[in-house]
Amino acid sequence: MTRIAPRWWPALAILMTACTGAPEVPVPTSLQLQPVSTLRVGESLTLGAEVRDQWGQVMAMPVTWTSSQPQLAAVQGQTVTASRLTPTDRPLTLTATVGTMQATMPLTTTGLEVTLGTYALSGQATLGTAVFARFRPEPGAPCRTAPSPSRRRMGRRC
pTM reported for the whole predicted model: 0.70
**How buried is residue 4: exposed, middle or buried, by Cβ count under 10 Å (0-12/13-18/19+)?**
exposed
Give the distance, in angstroms, between the CA of residue 38 and the centroid of all CA atoms in the same chain. 11
CATH code of the domain containing 44 = 2.60.40.1080
In a domain, 124, yes or no: no
Q: What is the DSSP string of the chain?
A: ------TTHHHHHHHHHHHH-PPPPP-EEEEEE----EEETT-EEE--EEEEETTS-EE----EEEES-TTTEEEETTEEEE-SPPPTT--EEEEEEETTEEEEEEEEEEEEEEEEEEE--TT-SSPEEEEEEEEEPPTT-----PBPTTSPBPPP--
Q: Which of 58-62, 95-99, 120-124, 139-143 has the lowest mean pLDDT?
A: 139-143
Q: Which of 42-46, 71-75, 133-137 has the lowest mean pLDDT?
A: 133-137
In a domain, 157, yes or no: no
In a domain, 62, yes or no: yes
In a domain, 130, yes or no: no
In this prediction, residues 112-133 reach a mean pLDDT of 87
What is the model's pLDDT at position 156? 47
In a domain, 101, yes or no: yes
In a domain, 150, yes or no: no
In a domain, 10, yes or no: no
pLDDT band at 155 (very low <50, low <70, confident <90, very high): very low
C-alpha to C-alpha distance for 91 and 99, rounded to whole angstroms: 25
Domain boundaries, position 40:
27-111
In a domain, 76, yes or no: yes
Q: Euclidean distance between the first and final Cα of the chain, in Å?
A: 97
C-alpha to C-alpha distance for 35 and 68, rounded to whole angstroms: 17
Cβ contact 86:107 at 8 Å: yes
**Number of domains into which the chain is organized:** 1
pLDDT band at 45 (very low <50, low <70, confident <90, very high): very high
Q: Which of 21-35, 40-54, 70-84 has the lowest mean pLDDT?
A: 21-35
**pLDDT for 51-102, tens place per residue?**
999 999 999 999 999 999 999 999 999 999 999 998 877 889 999 999 999 9
